[in-house]
A = this chain, B = another copy of it.
């Protein structure tokens, strides 16, 4: 079952305490669709400028990502993000953001995309996310990500959006900001009260928590000694999760939990290299091997 993702496509410049890299293929929709590609094909909606290297698109296509919804603005430049990670490889400073063509992003879905059943709205302006939803009226599952910026500056639009979502994925600090509580086990349910049928709180190296009406659970991250670049880990998590749900073509509680585990594992590979470097090296078989180790880790 094909999956639709709408989000940023970007060029990233990343500094870590060990190393720096420039001109990495980045952006939420990119990390998401690459992660999902181990499970299903993805239809990507995004925008780039004339400077966008053709080989990036080719790479995505080689992974079965449909880029007919990737719009190129001939007289524009691609969104670029430059960031520096702290020693803990979790906190980071944004050194520079050039929104460029992404600043006016007004996604219009190709006709073939509008019949999508599984929809992921990567982090973006809530009003724009809502406009995307209007274009996929026959969807079965709509999940979105958000961030502190929209919680602080577009709360009304975000509140409206939340009422239309099946699921919301956000990180721990965002969940605390949105609900005003420091207790994540409580925050998850408070966010759920705002509309989404389920809520997933991402805790980075500490894993992720799931909240639905009848279930609350936590799955830990897969421990890896090799954290090279955490950029895109959250989007890879979402991509692995949504990719598996689309592959299974259902979102029963049992499937959702397994999907969260797949998201966790795909994200654990994503952080083992800059940009998509590590992801390009792995296969579904590598993910399944790690899944076997993960299941063993959690059984006693």
Contacts and interface: CB of A to CB of B under 8 A. Distances in A.
Instruction: Please indicate which of the listed interface residues A87, A185, A186, A261 has the most CB atoms of chain B within 10 Å of its own CB.
Output: A185
Interface in A60-78: none
Given A182-B88, A183-B225, A223-B216, A299 B300 contact: no
A220 B223 contact: no
Interface residues of A, number: 34
Nearest to A88: B182
Contacts of A261: 300
A217 B207 CA distance: 13
A127 interface: no
Centre residue among A88, A89, A220, A221 by max chain B CB count within 10 A:
A220
A227 B183 contact: yes
A287 interface: no
A219 interface: yes
Number of copies of this chain in the oligomer? 2
A116 interface: no
Interface string A216-250: 11111101110100000000000000000000000
A44 to B, nearest CB: 28
Contacts of A209: 223
Given A217-B223, A220-B219, A297-B217, A184 B207 contact: no
A160 interface: no
Contacts of A205: 184
25 contacts: A88-B182, A89-B182, A89-B183, A183-B225, A183-B227, A185-B223, A185-B224, A189-B225, A206-B206, A206-B207, A206-B220, A207-B218, A209-B223, A217-B297, A217-B298, A218-B223, A218-B297, A219-B220, A219-B298, A220-B220, A254-B300, A257-B300, A295-B300, A298-B298, A298-B299
Interface of A: 87-89, 182-186, 189, 203, 205-207, 209, 216-221, 223-225, 227, 254, 257-258, 260-261, 295, 297-300
